Every structure is written in structure tokens, then in C-alpha cells.
Amino acid sequence: NAGVTQTPKFQVLKTGQSMTLQCAQDMNHEYMSWYRQDPGMGLRLIHYSVGAGITDQGEVPNGYNVSRSTTEDFPLRLLSAAPSQTSVYFCASIPTGRNTEAFFGQGTRLTVV
Amino acid sequence: AQSVTQLDSHVSVSEGTPVLLRCNYSSSYSPSLFWYVQHPNKGLQLLLKYTSAATLVKGINGFEAEFKKSETSFHLTKPSAHMSDAAEYFCVVTPGGFQKLVFGTGTRLLVSP
């Protein structure tokens, strides 16, 4: 039972480069989301999706793009990386309904130089 | 607006002594509340959740939390700390019990021998 799988685990980018962080879940959850974790700030919501074909912005969406073509996959794209995007990124999926817990991937540690 | 305040960024205890991690929340709706733990360089794991069934909630590894509506608090406790409890702990609220998570800034628990 894989749960939520994120790739890669580590990445170093140069300023201006683009890349895609992958997230896949095998639990058939409709809701998926991306967070970034920075010291002293907890996890902040970047983008989320309530189902295939539906995405919306979270608290800190600038510089990131998402799409949701299937229930399983929710990739996060950095369009033109900046040092301010150096962070640890987590993907989460949550079952439909009230009071359900989130399942998190292991995280991607991204450094932009 | 919904928010979570974790009152201590760091808590230091000795092994075998009690643990108290404090969390206050603000929510316009009847909230669900969660505590997650993150060990170094790992993803997030659910410790426990409050979903209005009972105000005292027991979780994994001997942790428990009490929901106090009058104080808008959901403090996490453990009677006796173990070295393996050293980690970062996040208090999380989902307003109305649905999927949009709001994280506190985290409390790092340090356990000394």
C-alpha cells in the first residue's frame, strides 16, 4: 500500500529554471493539496484540488502552477525558480467527508541557488 | 477566518517527565482538530484527532489532548516523555471539519536524558 508518493526527494535548481514535483496517491482520494514548509512558519497551502479537472489557489500560490488530469496525480510546477522557493514541499491527499485525516508524502527538499 | 496558535516554538523536557504542548485555535465553524508529528527529515504522521465525539482524545504513543471550547484550546500532553518523542509537533484545524487544513507554526520538542 504505497499511499502518497512524492518525487524527487531532493532537488537543486538554478534561479530561472523550471521543474515539476510529482505527487501520486493510490487511495482514490478526491482532495489533494500542496504545502510548503519553512522554518517557524508551519505548512502553508500552495494549491489544492477537489477532484480531477478542478484546482484552486491556496495561501501562497505565486510562482507555482498545478493541474489535475487524473484522480491519482497532482503535479506542482515551478515556472521560473527563485531562491525564495527554497523549501520543503509536501503533498497531501484526504478522503471525502468530514473529520478525515490527511495522508502526506515524504516531502521534497528543494534548494534554489 | 481560521487560525491556529502554538504558544511555544520550543519545549525542552527531561526523559520521564510530563510533556505539555499548547495550542489555541480560532474557527468560525465547528472545527476538527488534529495533532501531527514530524520526526527529522520525515513526513507528517497523525497523532490524534478531535471530531466532537469526546473532548478527551487519546492518540498513539501515549499522547492525549483535551478539547476545551470555552478556552478555544487543544493542548497535547503525555505523562512521561521518551527520547523517541523528540520531534516537531503541529496543531491543525479544519474549519467545519472539511479538507482545508490550517497549520500552526509548530513546536519543537527536545528531550534530554
The string of pLDDT tens digits covering residues A25-46 is 999 999 999 999 998 888 999 9
Which of A42, A48, A50 is opposite residue B106, by nearest beta carbon? A42
Contact flag B51-A41 (C-beta cutoff 8 Å): no
pLDDT digits (tens, 9 = 90+) for B55-92: 899 999 999 999 998 999 999 999 999 999 999 999 99
pLDDT of residue B80: 97
Residue A81 to residue B102: CA distance in whole angstroms? 26
pLDDT at residue B97 is higher than 60: no
Contact flag A99-B99 (C-beta cutoff 8 Å): no
Q: How would residue A1 be classed by pLDDT, with cut points 50, 70 and 90?
A: low
In chain A, residues with a C-beta closer than 8 Å to the C-beta of B87 are none
pLDDT of residue A98: 72
pLDDT at residue B99 is higher than 90: no
pLDDT at residue A81 is higher than 80: yes
In chain B, residues with a C-beta closer than 8 Å to the C-beta of A29 are none
pLDDT at residue B109 is higher than 70: yes
Contacts of B110 (CB under 8 A, 6+ apart): B10, B11, B12, B13, B86
pLDDT at residue B2 is higher than 80: no
Q: What is the mean pLDDT of residues B35-60?
A: 90
Which of A43, A99, A107 is opposite residue B103, by nearest beta carbon? A43
- SS3 assignment, position B81: coil
Rg for chain A, CA atoms, rounded:
13
Nearest-neighbour CA in chain B from A98: distance (Å)? 5
pLDDT of residue B94: 84
pLDDT at residue A63 is higher than 70: yes
- Chain A interface with B: residues with Cβ < 8 Å: 31, 33, 35, 40-45, 48, 50, 90, 92, 94, 98-102, 104-107
A59 or B2, higher pLDDT: A59
Interface test with A, best of B27, B57, B99, B100 (most A CBs within 10 A): B99
Nearest CA in chain B to A47: B100
pLDDT at residue B32 is higher than 90: no
